[in-house]
Amino acid sequence: MPKRISVLHQYLLPKQALTTLAGRVARAEDERFTPQLIRWFAKRYGVNMEEALNPDLASYTSFNDFFTRALRPDARPLAAADFVCPVDGAISQCGAIERDQIIQAKGHRYSTAALVGGDGALAAQFDHGSFATLYLSPRDYHRIHMPCDGRLTRMIYVPGALFSVNPATARGVPGLFARNERVVCVFESAFGPFVLTLVGATIVGSMATSWYGVVNPPRTRTVREWRYDDQQIVLKKGEEMGRFLLGSTVVMLFPKGVLEFNQDWTPGRAIRMGEAMGRKPKA
């Protein structure tokens, strides 16, 4: 009950209106206000601009340009691993999917079917598989990369709420990642199918993918789906696949017997894009 009380205000906040307003501010190109906002944000959250391709805060024309900044080519070398970490951030949870149940936090679970928008056939491919939930804080690099080579087959936009996705909210809001707005990206790989889900949150102005661009807005009340079976959209390990315009969470699903996590991967641990996430288990 105390955990529920600690996030009660999030049920009461006008999250949609706040998110719409934040999106407008982030897109704005105001010669006076935008540089001040960027400088304040970088100082407030301790953003490391030394690793940015463009370290000059004053040169960014909008907050979105700054927030989705590129890194220097040498800033995130790829580990020699079957699977690499797709983002900078922290591990919220990772491990085994118990039949179709994913651990959100102590005392909270949700189903893979709920995460992918109710598609039971898609979710069933990951029964007893592996999952990883990775949280991106405001200070982090907010481009999302491929954990392994993959060919895109589907993209599903699932409408939902806009709760915060910070650790405290994950502990207090049941089914958080299957309640919030999200973009589910489905890939085929040499290891079988996998899902990479971009989860929205309060003041996340939008989510974008490299092959489509900005997926939301518009924010619709119904599920939208795009099929790519007849196209060869192939992305290599470490290649950018999407980005958050203001930060959030990534949830990945892998089939049974495909992924053995790096032994250092434990909840709460800080992570960097390109580091070793895991390997295919030895036969």
User: Amino acid letter at 30?
Assistant: D
* Residues annotated as catalytic (active site), given as ranges: 88, 145, 248
**What is the C-alpha separation between 281 and 245, in angstroms, rounded?**
35
Residue 59: count of CB within 10 angstroms of its CB: 11
Cβ contacts of 245 within 8 Å, gap of 6 or more: 23, 26, 64, 67, 68, 142, 204, 205, 206, 207, 208, 214
In this structure, what are the phi and psi dihedrals at residue 244, rounded to the nearest 5 degrees? -100, 130
Q: Which helix (H) or strand (E) holds 216?
A: strand 213-216
Least Cα distance to 62 among 40, 94, 30, 32 occurs for: 30
Least Cα distance to 240 among 214, 195, 209 occurs for: 209
Report the DSSP pairing between strands 240-245 and 108-111.
unpaired
Question: Is residue 234 within 8 Å of 151, Cβ to Cβ?
Answer: yes
